Amino acid sequence: MRAVFGVLGAVLVLGIFSSVLRTLVIPRPTRSSFTRIVQQAVRWPFQRVADLARGAETKDRVLAPVAPLSIVITLMGWLFCFMVGYGLLEAAVSGLGLRESLTESGSSLFTLGFAAGNRASLNAIDFCAAATGPIVIGLQIGYLPTLYAAYQRRETEVTLLQARAGSPPWGPEILARYAQVDVVNSVGELFRSWERWSAEVGESHTTYPVLIHFRSPKATRNWLIALLAVMDAAALRLAFNPSHPQSEVRMALRAGFVCLRDIADMQGIAYDPDPHPDGPLELTYEDFLVGVARMREQGYPTERSPEEAWPHFRGWRVNYEELAQRLARDIDAVPAPWSGPRRTPVAIRTPVTPVDRRPAPPPFKSA
């Protein structure tokens, strides 16, 4: 029986050490089964309640605590598993019962010192347990500022986009608002900033996957829907304005679907890496015309008709639509036009273009 305790204890301690290293230390996308199971277990009851809600705001309020709570539960789970693992090891090398061994390991792990064995074999395990507790807690303390710094950088651009794309954001609304204030030629600046944003999010959200489920401060904003809106705006720009500079637009669009694919690889979501331009698309031509009408209402200049632009637009969107809609469903993102269905039916909110309140020019008076 002691041999079984020793094997189980060693496997548990080494497995949790691996989870800590993969989650907190290794600066590259690595998957931890323990962390993923904990996050799924924490999310499950909240998601069941959210599925019963009818409004997007209610769903958002229910799901908002999930990601932060999963971080706390993960830390507690690591420490508990270490206590059990070291307790099994101590039971294997001593004559102590399982209860006394757990007391001994807990006293050492949390550096309480109220239980102390006199055996040399116990002292060695106690030293390891005493070092493990502060190291894990210290790593977690250093992990949180990094995590929240990445979250704040992500949300800054999402918040800035609200004035350009509405709430929730929508691709055609971006071009419509740029046309409304006569700054269509400066839209390249937006695409440059979102190219860098996509690279940062792709790196941070694969290294720290819990960020995927961190929700925005407001229910009508979401990082994934914002990225989808920018990518749709880029695809519309390329489809309708072939004579304009395309390098910045194409690079932003490519960075966007590379970001989505990196996240999909981390989440184990399958996708076609090279879809055919005429492949199936969830977005219909009728929905496309609704977006085009919104752009034209505000005077967005186009070089192609909708019929001519549609094949070009769908050839771009087929690269990212399936992944964006799958992730939007998984995280229950705010429902927005062109973003696909959610887990349960919810009303889609279309952003309203603000009224142009610039003063009208004075009437021309002839001499």
- Looking at per-residue confidence, does 250 or 141 come out higher? 250
pLDDT value at position 106? 80
Residues 153 and 215 in one domain: yes
Query: Which residues, 6+ apart, have CB-to-CB distance to 246 below 8 Å?
Result: 238
The burial of 247, by beta-carbon neighbours within 10 Å (0-12 exposed, 13-18 middle, 19 or more buried), is given as exposed
In Å, what is the CA distance from 281 to each residue of 97, 224, 236, 323? 63, 19, 15, 12
Query: 187 with 295, same domain?
Result: yes
- Find the range with the poorest average confidence among 21-35, 149-163, 343-357: 343-357
pLDDT of 5 over the 70 cut: yes
132 and 28 in a common domain? yes
Dihedral pair phi/psi, residue 354, rounded to 5°: -65, 150
Domain edge (last residue) among 141, 166, 189: 141
Q: Do the Cβ atoms of 211 and 325 come closer than 8 Å?
A: no
Same domain, 178 and 271: yes
Of 98, 118, 141, the residue that ends a domain is 141
What span, in angstroms and rounded, lies between the C-alpha atoms of 88 and 205?
36
What is the C-alpha to C-alpha distance for residues 149 and 161, in angstroms, rounded to an integer? 19
Whether the CB-CB separation of 273 and 261 falls below 8 Å is answered with yes
Contacts of residue 33, Cβ cutoff 8 Å, sequence gap at least 6: 19
Instruction: Assess whether pLDDT exceeds 60 at residue 273.
Output: yes
Which range has the top average pLDDT, 162-166, 267-271, 318-322?
A: 318-322
Q: Are residues 46 and 162 in the same domain?
A: no
Residue 334 scores a pLDDT above 70: yes
Residue in 107, 70, 68, 79 with CA at minimum distance from that of residue 16: 79
Q: How confident is residue 23, by pLDDT bands cut at 50, 70 and 90?
A: confident
- 344 in a structural domain: no
| Same domain flag for 55 and 190 | no
What is the predicted pLDDT for the residue at 167? 87
Query: Of 76, 109, 141, which residue is a domain's last?
Result: 141
Same domain, 297 and 183: yes
Give the ranges where the chain is alpha helix by DSSP (H).
2-20, 33-52, 56-63, 66-93, 98-109, 120-165, 171-180, 187-207, 223-240, 247-267, 285-297, 306-317, 321-330
If one counts the domains in the chain, the total is 2
Confidence of residue 363 (pLDDT cuts 50, 70, 90): low
**Angle between helix 187-207 and 223-240 (nearest 10):** 140
Q: Is residue 180 assigned to a domain? A: yes
Does residue 343 fall inside a structural domain? Answer: no
Residues 275 and 304 in one domain: yes
Whether 358 is covered by a domain: the verdict is no
Flag whether 134 is in a domain: yes
pLDDT value, residue 333: 92
**Residue 366 forms part of a structural domain:** no
Give domain status of residue 181, yes or no. Answer: yes
At 360, the pLDDT band (50, 70, 90 cuts) reads low
Instruction: Count Cα atoms within 13 angstroms, Cβ side, for 340.
Output: 22
Q: Is the pLDDT of residue 118 over 70?
A: no
Q: CA 26, 31, 33 angle in degrees (round to 5)?
A: 125
Domain-located, residue 171: yes
Residues 323 and 243 in one domain: yes
Mean pLDDT value across residues 87-113: 78
The Cα angle at residue 67 between residues 62 and 72, in degrees rounded to 5? 115
pLDDT tens per residue across span 160-201: 998 888 889 999 999 999 999 888 888 999 999 999 999 999
Examine the domain organization and report whether 99 and 212 are in the same domain.
no
d(CA 195, CA 201): 10
Instruction: Report the first-to-last Cα separation within the chain, whole angstroms.
Output: 108
Are 171 and 224 in a shared domain?
Answer: yes
**pLDDT at site 359:** 61
Structure tokens at 217: 């401060």
pTM, full prediction: 0.88
Q: Which among 97, 148, 171, 178 is positioned nearest to 354, based on CA atoms?
A: 178
Question: Cβ(294)–Cβ(179) under 8 Å?
Answer: no
DSSP 282: S
Domain containing residue 51: 2-141
Q: How large is the average pLDDT for residues 347-357?
A: 72
Judge whether 208 and 194 are in contact, CB under 8 Å: no
CA nearest neighbour of 186 among 245, 261, 236, 135: 245
Q: Give the number of other Cβ atoms within 10 Å of residue 1's Cβ.
A: 8
pLDDT at 113 over 90: no
* Same domain (yes/no): 136, 272: no
